[in-house]
Amino acid sequence: MLSICYPFLVYWGLQHYDTKLLLLILLILLGLRWIAIGGRAERYIVTTTIVSVSIVVMLWGETLGLKFYPVMMNFSFLILFAGSLFTSTSFVERLARIREPDLPPQAVVYTRKVTLAWSVFFVINGSIAAITAVWASDKVWMLYNGMIAYVLMGILATSEWFIRQKVKKSYI
């Protein structure tokens, strides 16, 4: 829930608090999230985000570091999804096998395409997040990263669900 509210909290926080304090809170929350989660993929995403945000802060300052959090999340997910395309089992296939261990060959091909689609989404979404962080106003940054990006994710997920139902019917 904090991830979804993050842009709104940062926007509000930048108006009322020192960026160093906000950055410290972000890093503490990410650290607690790392401790609380058990999955390797989730720990990878949190670790990559902490390291990446820290690098941005060192190079370009606290404010951009705070605003680059969505960029780094997209980058982490991109590495997770796209990286799996170079393995025998794509990330989406791994998720699908949790519910359906015996996936037919057509479903394996489909999950690879879905993994690729999400990878493209993370490239585009992360790029727009970076553009808003660097060149847009705080309000535009908050609007895109706090609302529009989630609407786009929802549209992609919903579209994929409808396509999946059609694909399933073709091989059942």
pLDDT tens, position by position, 44-95: 777 887 788 888 888 898 888 889 989 988 998 999 999 999 999 999 999 9
What residues make up the domain containing 82? 2-171
DSSP annotation string for the chain: -HHHHHHHHHHHHHHHS-HHHHHHHHHHHHHHHHHH---HHHHHHHHHHHHHHHHHHHHH-HHHHHHTHHHHHHHHHHHHHHHHTTSSS-HHHHHHHHH-SS--HHHHHHHHHHHHHHHHHHHHHHHHHHHHHHHS-HHHHHHIIIIIHHHHHHHHHHHHHHHHHHHHHHH-
Domain count, the chain: 1
- For residues 144 and 26, which has the higher predicted lDDT (pLDDT)? 144
Q: Does residue 115 register a pLDDT over 70?
A: yes
Rounded to two decimals, what is the model's pTM? 0.83
Q: Does residue 9 register a pLDDT over 80?
A: no
